Each structure stands twice: as structure tokens, then as C-alpha cells.
Amino acid sequence: MDRLQIDGGARLDGTVRISGAKNSALPILAATLLADGPVTIANLPHLHDITTMIELLGCLGVEVVIDEKLAVEVHPETLRDVVAPYDLVKTMRASFLVLGPLLARHGRAEVSLPGGCAIGPRPVDLHLKGLAAMGADIEVEGGYVKARSAGRLQGANIFMDVVTVTGTEHLMMAAALADGVTVIENAAREPEVVDLAECLTAMGAVISGAGTDTITIEGVERLESASHRVMPDRVETATYLLAGAATRGRVRVVETQPDLLDAVLVKLRDAGAAIATGDDWVELDMEGRRARAVSLRTAPYPGFPTDVQAQFLALNAVADGISRVTETIFENRFMHVQEINRMGARVVLEGNSVAIIEGVDRLTAAPVMATDLRASFSLVIAALAAEGQTIIDRIYHMDRGYECIEEKLAGLGARVRRLP
Ligand code: UD1
């Protein structure tokens, strides 16, 4: 199992290029199943989760041609199976998203119930309820969701009880090929939902309101060949800015979209960072200063993203003052706290949704273990800011969501090595 060795204490200084957004690429790959002809997707990040999704498409008989820049041409017309097996779905929750497209396009699908990140119970009840409201007949049997539709799915008015990102995406995809109009209320407003809507629209779907809490989809007869470029990863962008802030350094992040990061940039400014932005870049400069502690609360977009909570907590761990970080999206998303405390951080949990952080001047290196995708990078940030050499175990979590970690960090002047 790969480990990451980090010699801390170096101030990061340099430029890093941001990859395509994983959370946008995954639903978009699932959406290609709706089309009658080839769909080309560019700017896919080079990640394990993407490979898993491509493998799953392959398993359904869909031909996927990958070019050297990792643009893929997906051929949904070669599909010969509608069963998504446990082995692939268990490693990544987003693979569950093939259910709706298969059902809408082929009237039938069997998809294993997902596993995925260990960040508390993550149900898919709203996905299933929405598909049922569209007329699907759904049974759960032997760990598989077996869905059928007599004829086409039917447009429906769907109110989402909880704001769910992939839930919204799932129903938007299914509705694109339904008979009639679907209205999704209390929809997620995340930029990745908008990116998916743009891809579906390029395929011929008729969608309005993506990016607001009410999305209207007029079902169409068929979806066609299209090409789409995946948006930049806003979580990766925030993560590298936070690494810069925690090391009191200067980081310029390019090929990104700063306007999607307002909630994080506000907090970084509060922490004392000088931030400059352009159309597709952000630069953070701490000018050698220690950050000030900043309290925050995660919320659905445009609020502070839960996927950046762990990384900001790592900054607070070395900041001046006491802060409070409240997690409102997931029930068990503080597993990094125990590990970061092994490095001398002073973080106390109140229940499982609030962390109180007393910033320390310096963390010290220690062997630590990655527990989930975003939490893993909080340990990298802590290690970069710490004195001495930290070894982070189980970084396969991180490889699911961060492209070329060592190369990108090395480009910023970090002393990082992957150990087999
Ligand atoms: C997506 C992101 C993930 C991010 C999360 C929140 C992808 C591939 N993943 O995950 O990185 O952390 O959004 O921004 O885009 N819920 C239900 N019933 C459901 C579905 C969800 O109760 O049927 C609850 C969840 O338990 C959670 C909340 O809704 O408390 C939000 O989760 P959701 O937005 O669905 O997360 P994901 O879409 O899985």
C-alpha cells in the first residue's frame, strides 16, 4: 500500500495547474449512457475513481476510446448489458449513477447498492424515490437495486427532502429521456450540477434552472452525440490554496474558476491571506505570516463546501487563535481529527458535528493514516506545515480524488516522496 513521505517546514511557492473536476466527470460519464451515438468528454482528471467509472462502462459493453490527453470517446451504442456489479459499485458510490440513465434509455437496470467513503451513512433513498415517482418499478434484492419501467419514464414533480448533489444529478439525467416535464424542487445548486446540465444540453436535452433550486427538464425522444469539456475542480483548487496558507507561502492556481470558490476565498481572506483572482486563476500570498483562526460551517453550495472542511481544519490547527468548525452535511466527517492530533494539533470534538480547534505554532511530524478522500489531504497540509518527516499511510484514498499529488506538490517546492 503506497505511503507518502513529507518533509515539512518548507514554505510553498509556485504555480499549480488544476485538473478537471472529479465530481463533475463522474456523473457526466454516467450520462453518456443516455445518448444514441458517441460522446466525447475532455479534461477528465487522471484518477482511480474515473478509471473505475470507465471500467464500469466497459463492463456494460460500452466501448471507451481514450486518447493520450485522457479525453475519452464513449460509445453507448455498443451497450450489451444493464447490470452494474457489486465489485465496481462498492469501491465508488458515484457508479450508482448509471442506474437512472440505463433505466431511462433501456427500460431496465440492475445496480448494486453503493459503498464508497466511510463518512457516515450515505443513503440513496431520494434517488430511488425520485425514479419511482417517474414511474419506475424498483425492488431491492440481494444488495442490488432492480429497476424496470414499462415504456418510457414519465415526467414528474419531485421535491427533494434533503439537498443532494448526486440525487439531483441522477434524476436530471433520467428525466432528460422521460415522457413529459419533470420539475425538481429543492435541487442542489452545485456547479457540478450545472456542468452536467450543460453536457446533457449539448446532447440535445432541454433543461432550465440548473444552478437554482428548481430545475425543469422537458423530456426528449432521444439524445445524441456531443462533446463536452469538464469544468475545473474547485475542491482541488481550494486544497492547494490551503496548503499554501498553512505553510505561510504563495501559491498561484491556474486553469481554474475562482468565481465558484467565493465561500472559501472569503474565509481565506479572513485568515489573513492576500488573494488576487483573474478569469481562470487565483493567487494566495501569506507573505510569511501565520494565519488567523477562522470559524466556519459547511453548507450546500454556495455555502462552504464539506469537501474542503478537513483541509481548512488543518489550516486552523496551525493558525493563531481558537476556531470552531461545524459540519452540517455528513454525520461522521471528522476522522482526520484523531490523526491530526497525533501531530500535536489541539482539536476537540463536541459530538460528531463540531470541532473546536486551538491553533498551535508548529505541528510535529508523526506517522498517520489517511481515512477518507478529503481527510487525507488535510494530513498532507498538516505534514507540510509540521516540523520533521511525516509518513502518511493508506494514501489510496487520496489517489481516488487528487491527480499527480507528488508532482503538483513538488512543483510548489514541497519535499514529498511516494513510498511503495
Ligand atoms: C456529493 C459529492 C461529495 C460531496 C457531497 C456534498 C459527488 C460524486 N460527490 O456526494 O464529494 O461531499 O456531494 O457536497 O458529487 N442524502 C439522503 N438521501 C439520499 C441522498 C443523500 O439523505 O438519497 C443525504 C446524505 O446522507 C447527506 C446529504 O444528503 O447527509 C448530502 O449528500 P449528497 O449531496 O447526496 O452527497 P453525494 O451526492 O453523495
- Which residues, 6 or more positions from 351, have their beta carbon under 8 angstroms from its beta carbon? none
pLDDT at 88: 86
pLDDT at 120: 53
pLDDT at 375: 85
pLDDT at 396: 87
Contact 243, 412 (CB under 8 A): yes
Which one is catalytic: 59, 117, 199, 404? 117
- Which residues, 6 or more positions from 363, have their beta carbon under 8 angstroms from its beta carbon? 8, 317, 318, 340, 343, 344, 345, 382, 383, 385, 386, 387
Smallest CA separation from ligand 1 atom 12, residue? 307
Whether 47 is in the pocket of ligand 1, judged by its Cβ within 6 Å, is no
Smallest CA separation from ligand 1 atom 9, residue? 23
Collect the ranges in the chain with pLDDT lower than 50.
116-117, 119
Q: Which helix (H) or strand (E) holds 399?
A: helix 396-399
| N-to-C CA span, the chain | 6
For residue 329, give the ligand 1 atom closest to its CA: 30
Whether 125 is in the pocket of ligand 1, judged by its Cβ within 6 Å, is yes
d(Cα 356, Cα 346) in Å, to the nearest integer?
Answer: 8
Task: State CA 258 to chain mean position distance.
Answer: 17
pLDDT at 115: 61
Whether 307 is in the pocket of ligand 1, judged by its Cβ within 6 Å, is yes
| 169 Cα–ligand 1 center, Å | 11
For residue 166, give the ligand 1 atom closest to its CA: 38
| 300 Cα–ligand 1 center, Å | 10
pLDDT at 121: 61
| 165 Cα–ligand 1 center, Å | 5
Smallest CA separation from ligand 1 atom 34, residue? 164
d(Cα 339, Cα 247) in Å, to the nearest integer?
Answer: 19
For residue 126, give the ligand 1 atom closest to its CA: 23
For residue 129, give the ligand 1 atom closest to its CA: 23
Whether 26 is in the pocket of ligand 1, judged by its Cβ within 6 Å, is yes
- The string over 363-374, giving b where at least 16 C-beta atoms fall within 10 Å of a residue's C-beta and e elsewhere, is bebbebbbbbbb
pLDDT at 116: 45
Look at residues 126, 236, 140 and name the one whose alpha carbon lies nearest to residue 174: 126
Three cell numbers, residue 324: 470552531
| 10 Cα–ligand 1 center, Å | 36
| 122 Cα–ligand 1 center, Å | 7
Whole-angstrom Cα Rg for the chain: 21
Smallest CA separation from ligand 1 atom 20, residue? 124
The edge-to-edge listing of strands for the beta sheet with 415-419 is 368-369, 389-393, 3-7, 415-419
Three cell numbers, residue 23: 465530481
Q: Based on the residue annotation, tell me whether 117 is a catalytic residue of this protein.
A: yes
Whether 123 is in the pocket of ligand 1, judged by its Cβ within 6 Å, is yes
Whether 166 is in the pocket of ligand 1, judged by its Cβ within 6 Å, is yes
| 288 Cα–ligand 1 center, Å | 37
For residue 169, give the ligand 1 atom closest to its CA: 38
